[in-house]
Amino acid sequence: MSAKPLKVLACGDVEGRFSQIFNRVSAIQKKSGPFDLLLCVGDFFGDNDTEWKDYKSGKLKVPIATLILGATNDRQASYYTEDGQEMCENVTYLGKKGTYTESSGLQIAYLSGLESSSEEGDNSHFGRKDTTGLTLPVIADTKYKGVDILITSQWPKNVQKYASAIEGIEDGDQLGSEAVAEVARLLQPRYHFAGLSGIFYERQPYRNHKVIAESSRHATRFIGLAKVGNKQKKKFLYAFNVVPLNKMESAELNKTPQDSTECPFPMSRFWSSNQIDDTDTQFFYNMSGKNKQGSKHKSDFKDGGDRKKQKKQPQATGPCWFCLGSPEVEKHLVVSVGTECYVALAKGGLVPEHVLILPIGHHQSTVSSPQDVRDEIDQYKSCLKKCFKDQGKGVVFFERNFRTQHLQIQVVPIGGSAIQEVKDTFMECAESESISLDEIPKHSDLKQIIPVGVPYFYAELPLGDKLLHRISKNFPLQFGREVLCESGVLNMPERADWKNCKISKEDETTMTADFKAMFKPYDFSLL
């Protein structure tokens, strides 16, 4: 059975009428309390905040733990100094964006300020980085269940779609923010409160799943609250009981209310996940089956003889050119073999030191590889970076998880001004191909961001920048290669097509030996 519910109050814009709201809440506490929490949406401060100093000094008391949102203009911004700040006893500013977990386990997601089209936003606006920062962890988590409550300054755009009209406004379409709608769609709160509009609107609950097509999930109740103490006596205070969703049985949580509607918000671009297209178009190896070598003598290619025990590795069902145990792999290209991964010269590489990091066993992508494999990929990456750093070069790593069956991380060293230029070049090329390449935080982990099964292109640049594109339909297979051939980077347009870069097997063997010799002092697998 469910845990004991929390009693929560939500109120609309306070706009400096502090005694009005707190006296009202005190009265409610006595009459029908105790409530556990007061959530304030919209503007907490207003044009006249003269009462504030008495709350701040402790002369007047706030009767309940109160969570507030941030500024929507510069004047208000002066009150806020940091996320999570205690404004006075019992009043906490949550922050610009994030998720707050109350001691009972109740989860409250919040997004402060007005929508801005910029990346960063400012002290009264949230930018695209804020909404992505709030939703990326959710998108990455296939077991995500939702949050209990979402509070935003602004309304989500088009919330009235499929529902009753919003009373008191002519054109509901003009109200609210598209970005807030996207956040609501992704976070799937059970309750969503917003302010700023001066309107009370309790929408019919909307479903977070498609009927029949998807299994049932909990519904969202959106409630727009009017301003505290408004003359028209529109409702500005809303009381409800809620059991944190992580303490509920899913059958109970996911019960669909009678009057629920479709979700009013458009499908986010993030959810347009596509089926994996496993047509094999690997372009670094000849797929026609020539140059096959027997794999009976593993020690032929295993550098260092039988130093390491060969682990049992997952095998491809069909022939795979990259499984190290398969007869198809071109062993004369292998430069280093670890426990989980190996490094091989890229066929038709851009530069002689263009190599690939590959798992020994059959894994499709970084995201779908087990931790041991990802750890060793990181180990190879750092050895390769050291090796090239000593030559004054930086390394570009990129992976395309689209139309490949076996993970290949391309490793291309670049030097000179290209180290600075390469990020802009990636961005420009992406723009000209209409590819949305997103910068993800430097310390983020791809696995936390991309669900297994979603195709992507991912690059790590010498200065630590990480770029990610979720592939939705088509993607130029040689994109990474094309970018690196641009004038600002390697400046070798003629090598964008790998077919122009083929060399003889003898030359490949020589290049492999050269690379091995160069890499030897850095290669952890030889230590």
Ligand X SMILES: *[C@@H]1O[C@H](CO)[C@@H](O)[C@H](O)[C@H]1NC(C)=O
List interacting residues with ligand X (CB under 6 A): 61-65, 89-90, 286, 288, 290
Q: Nearer Cβ to ligand X, position 99 or 286? A: 286
Nearer to ligand X, 280 or 445 (CB): 280
Q: Is 360 in the site for Zn ion (CB under 5 A)?
A: no
Lookup: tokens for 454: 């979603």
Q: Taking the complex as a whole, how short is the minimal distance between the CB of residue 364 and ligand X, in angstroms? A: 23
* Rg (alpha carbons) of the chain, rounded to whole number: 28
Query: What minimum distance in Å lies between the beta carbon of 26 and ligand X?
Result: 9
Count of Cβ atoms closer than 10 Å to residue 85 Cβ: 15
323 sits near Zn ion (criterion: CB under 5 A)? yes
Strand positions, DSSP E, 292-333 = none
Shortest distance in whole angstroms from residue 382 CB to Zn ion? 24
316 touches Zn ion (CB under 5 A): yes
Residue type, 323: C
For position 136 contacting Zn ion by CB under 5 A, the verdict is no
Supply 162's token pair: 């499929």
Alpha helices in 331-434 (DSSP H): 371-389, 418-432
Work out whether 406 is an interface residue with Zn ion (CB under 5 A): yes
Determine the Cα–Cα distance for residues 177 and 168; give it in Å rounded to an integer: 19
**What does the alpha-carbon distance between residue 67 and residue 41 come to, in Å, rounded to a whole number?**
9
323 binds, among Zn ion, ligand X, none (CB under 5 to 8 A by kind): Zn ion
Measured from the CB atom, the residue of 283 and 515 that comes closer to ligand X is 283
In the complex, least distance from residue 303 CB atom to ligand X, rounded to whole angstroms: 26
Rounded CA separation 82/446 (Å)? 29
Q: In the bound complex, what is the minimum distance in angstroms from residue 9's beta carbon to ligand X?
A: 11
| Nearest to ligand X of 58, 318 (CB atom) | 58
Contact partner at residue 63 from Zn ion, ligand X, none, CB < 5 to 8 Å by partner kind:
ligand X
Distances (CA, A) of 382 to 228, 396, 516: 57, 12, 16
Residue 241: CB minimum distance to ligand X, A: 16
Nearest to 180 by CA among 95, 116, 270: 116
Torsion of CA 398, 403, 405, 408, to 10 degrees: -10
- Identify the CA nearest to 157 among candidates 193, 182, 124, 192: 182
- Judge contact between 69 and 151, C-beta under 8 A: yes
- In angstroms, the CA 21 to CA 323 distance is 67
CB of 481 to ligand X, least distance (A): 15
Binding segment for Zn ion (CB under 5 A), chosen from 86-94, 249-257, 309-317, 475-483, is 309-317
Out of 331, 362, 374, 393, point to the residue binding Zn ion (CB under 5 A).
362
Residue sitting closest to ligand X (CB)? 290
Give the residue with the Cβ less far from Zn ion, 207 or 400: 400
Dist. CA 91–CA 72, nearest whole Å: 18
* Residue 322 in contact with Zn ion, rule: CB under 5 A: yes
Please choose which of ligand X, Zn ion, none residue 39 contacts, taking the beta carbon within 5 to 8 angstroms, the exact cut-off set by kind: none
Which residue do the tokens 């303490």 mark?
247
CB atoms within 10 A of CB 427: 16
Binding of residue 343 to Zn ion (CB under 5 A): no
Please state the closest distance from residue 205 (CB atom) to ligand X, in A.
29
Instruction: CB nearer to ligand X: give 284 or 388.
Output: 284
Name the residues that contact Zn ion, by CB under 5 A.
Answer: 316, 320, 322-323, 362, 406
